[in-house]
Chain A
Amino acid sequence: MSGIGTGYDLSVSTFSPDGRVFQTAYAQKAVDNGGTVVGIRCKDGVVLGVEKPVASKMLVGGSNRSTYPINQQTGMGIAGVSADGRQIVNRAMQEATQYKGFYGEVIPGYVLSERIASYVHLFNLYWYVRPFGAALLMASYDSEGPQLYLIEPGGTAHRYFGTAIGKGRQSAKTDIEKLKLTELSCRQGVVEVAKILHTVHDEEKPFELELAWICDESNKEFKRVPADLAAEAEQQAKAALDEDMDS
């Protein structure tokens, strides 16, 4: 990146001569260096998977959450700085509550994604704040059916069939493109997500998989994938990986 040392990359309220805001790009860097997060929209719901590095074996297993419910019908997976991501999650919860109180209905996914994007965008406008170092994958299930959104530090929100962010995003995205998402059920999707995350995790560092979904099987509520199902998916993922190694 050509901003280093020019002085044009020190504040979010400074454009560089060729029209870039480097601080936003640097915040995106924090996301790109973090653990991989994968989201796919299957035919009956959305599956989110997060690769969490485990820093110490004294950590309590399953702690250090990175998928969060926003309300019963919506959930988010955090990529990047999780402390920053939590702040966005809190805002999303407030927006959802406010919408419910005002309109008496659950906030639709696209409304929430846009409101969240606007909030994230605010931190790209003033010199006295910095952009969030986190991107969020949001899964929702409303009258429009299951949807997957990606909200990035720059304040953009896009709807996806499937996407990945974080360190292993490139190869993860290639893998997702091979899936037939219109035919895949979430139950199968969980296994595919586990496979992808195990594949892109190349280092020998220990990591945990956090899987969450919202689908017909979860009663259209955003929940962590049941422990037995998650364990089975991981086992299948590892088996598939070993097979690839052998062949």
Chain B
Amino acid sequence: MFAKAPSHSTALGPGCAGPPLANPQQLSSAQASAHERGSHQPSCGAAPFAVDASMLRSTGSQPHKHTQSPYVTGSSVLAITYAGGVMLASDTLASYGSTKRYKSVQRLVKVNDSTVLGAGGEISDLQFILNMLDDLKTEDYCADDGQSLSSQELYSYLSRVMYNRRNKMDPLWNSLIIAGLEGGKPFLGSVNMIGVAFSDDHLATGFGNHLARPLFRKRHRPDMSEEEATALIREALEVCYYRDKQSINKFQIAKVTASEGVSISEPFALPTKWEYKAFVDPTRNAVGVW
């Protein structure tokens, strides 16, 4: 579930960092060529950060506009650690505004043999991110030195990308959770569209932040067994499904463990019960409502 820009952060609100800041002073041609000669393109990860001055310049009388709201969005992603692994879950819906438009979109993606990415928010931006991660993976493959990016490195990479895009006033409209094993230990990290990044034992994005994390805080232990973890995740999914209108009853669970690597389940539905009194009579406990 994603709010519109102004409510997300004041930094993106009107007047805070308008066109003047986004327009770097144009280099004179002599300066520009000197700049070109003096600087070298770093060998890794620079492309998403590079500011293309021509993109910032306005065309015609109107200023250049960037994404100002998302179109096709995914909702919450939940993630917890447990003994020997991490577990992620999300539904498979991509909404067009408030229309449940695409119902079989996989939002948990295997990035490499030890990392899964879960994403909410703009689905096209997610696809862009996945293309970048695919290029990174190919880079690792081509280096052919047996080394590949760890979960923590991918987390760091993505947080740099998200933050730099936000500073270019052209954010990737996503909340991401990166999950995997770091030196055999479970690792979870989250990054959002303005580049706020943190790591914890349990995480959730979107509405899950309000609905699932209180449950996690109460019930989560890092030494949970896989069964316990699955039970907790399923319960959290159920709660999210009941209370988040932008969700559907079609979920996937992803796991990363040392023994089995990455596995992502087939989509499944949870048993639901709508006969709760509060559901049947939603205004029962709400004073002053009719």
In the complex, A touching B, CB below 8 Å?
yes
Chain A residues within 8 Å of B, Cβ to Cβ: 65, 68-72, 93, 96-97, 100-101, 224
Main secondary structure of the interface of B (DSSP, over half): helix
Complex contacts, B138 vs chain A, CB 8 Å:
71-72, 93, 96-97
Q: For B145, give the chain A residue with the smallest CB separation.
A: A65
A101 touches B131 (CB 8 A): yes
Q: Which partner residue on chain B sits nearest A104 by CB separation? A: B131
Q: Is the CB of B141 within 8 A of A97?
A: no
Q: Do A69 and B135 touch across chains, with their CB atoms under 8 A apart?
A: no
Tell me if B286 is interfacial: C-beta within 8 Å of chain A: no
Residue contact A65 to B144, C-beta cutoff 8 Å: yes
- 8 more contacts with CB within 8 A, not counting A69-B144, A100-B134, are A65-B144, A68-B142, A69-B141, A71-B138, A72-B138, A97-B135, A100-B135, A224-B144
Contact A70 B131 (CB under 8 A): no
Nearest CB of chain B from residue A102's CB, rounded to whole Å:
11
**Bound form: Cα–Cα A224–B142 in Å:** 12
Q: Which residues of A contact B144 (CB under 8 A)?
A: 65, 68-69, 224
- Minimum Cβ distance to chain A for residue B23 (Å): 27
Interface contacts (Cβ under 8 Å), in number, total 22
Interface of A is mostly: mixed
A110 to B266, CA, bound (A): 38
- Bound CA–CA A97/B135 (angstroms): 7
Residues of A close to B134: CB separation below 8 A: 100
Chain B residues in the interface with A (C-beta under 8 A): 131, 134-135, 138, 141-142, 144
B residues in contact with A100, CB < 8 Å: 134-135
What residues of B have a CB within 8 angstroms of the CB of A224 in the complex?
Answer: 144
How far does the Cβ of A140 sit from chain B's closest Cβ, in whole Å? 14
Residues of B within 8 A of A97 (CB): 135, 138
Top 7 A-B pairs, shortest CB-CB distance: A69-B142, A71-B138, A69-B144, A97-B135, A93-B142, A69-B141, A72-B141
CA distance in complex: A71, B139 (Å): 8
Residue of B nearest to A221 (CB): B141
Interchain residue pairs with CB less than 8 A apart (13)? A69-B141, A69-B144, A70-B142, A71-B142, A72-B141, A93-B138, A96-B138, A97-B135, A97-B138, A100-B134, A101-B131, A101-B135, A224-B144
Residues of B near A70 (CB, < 8 A) are 142
> In the complex, which residue of chain A has the Cβ closest to the Cβ of B142?
A69
* Bound CA–CA A101/B138 (angstroms): 12
* Interchain CA distance A100-B137 in the complex, whole Å: 13
CA distance A69 to B135 in the complex (A): 14
Nearest Cβ distance between residue B266 and chain A, in whole angstroms? 23
Residues of chain A contacted by B142 (CB below 8 angstroms): 68-71, 93
Specify which of A70, A72, A96, A97 lies most central, judged by the most chain B CB atoms within 10 Å of its CB.
Answer: A97
In Å, the complex CA distance between A157 and B138 comes to 25
Question: Smallest Cβ distance from B64 to chain A, in angstroms?
Answer: 22
Within the complex, what minimum Cβ distance (angstroms) separates B25 from chain A? 31
Q: When chains A and B are docked, how far (Å) is the Cα of A93 from the Cα of B135?
A: 10
Q: How far is the CB of A235 from chain B (nearest CB, A)?
A: 24
The CA-CA distance from A97 to B138 in the complex, in Å, is 9
Give the distance in Å from the alpha carbon of A105 to the alpha carbon of B215 in the complex.
43
Q: Cα distance A116–B142 when bound, in Å?
A: 17
A71/B131 in contact, CB under 8 A:
no
Q: State the Cβ distance, B135 to closest chain A Cβ, in Å.
A: 6
Give Cα distance in the complex from A93 to B141, angstroms: 11
Cα–Cα, bound, A68→B139 (Å): 12
Residues of B within 8 A of A68 (CB): 142, 144
Complex Cα–Cα for A224 and B144 (A): 9
Task: Give the residue name and chain of the B residue nearest to A67 (CB).
Answer: B144
Chain A, residue nearest B131 (CB):
A101
- Interface hub of B141, B142, B144 (most chain A Cβ within 10 A): B142
Which residue of chain B is the closest to A96 with respect to CB atoms? B138
Q: Which residues on the A side are within 8 Å of B135 (C-beta)?
A: 97, 100-101
How far does the alpha carbon of A96 sit from the alpha carbon of B134 in the complex, in Å?
12
- CA separation between A78 and B166, bound complex, in Å? 43
Cα–Cα, bound, A97→B131 (Å)? 10
CA A127 to CA B64, docked complex, whole Å:
43
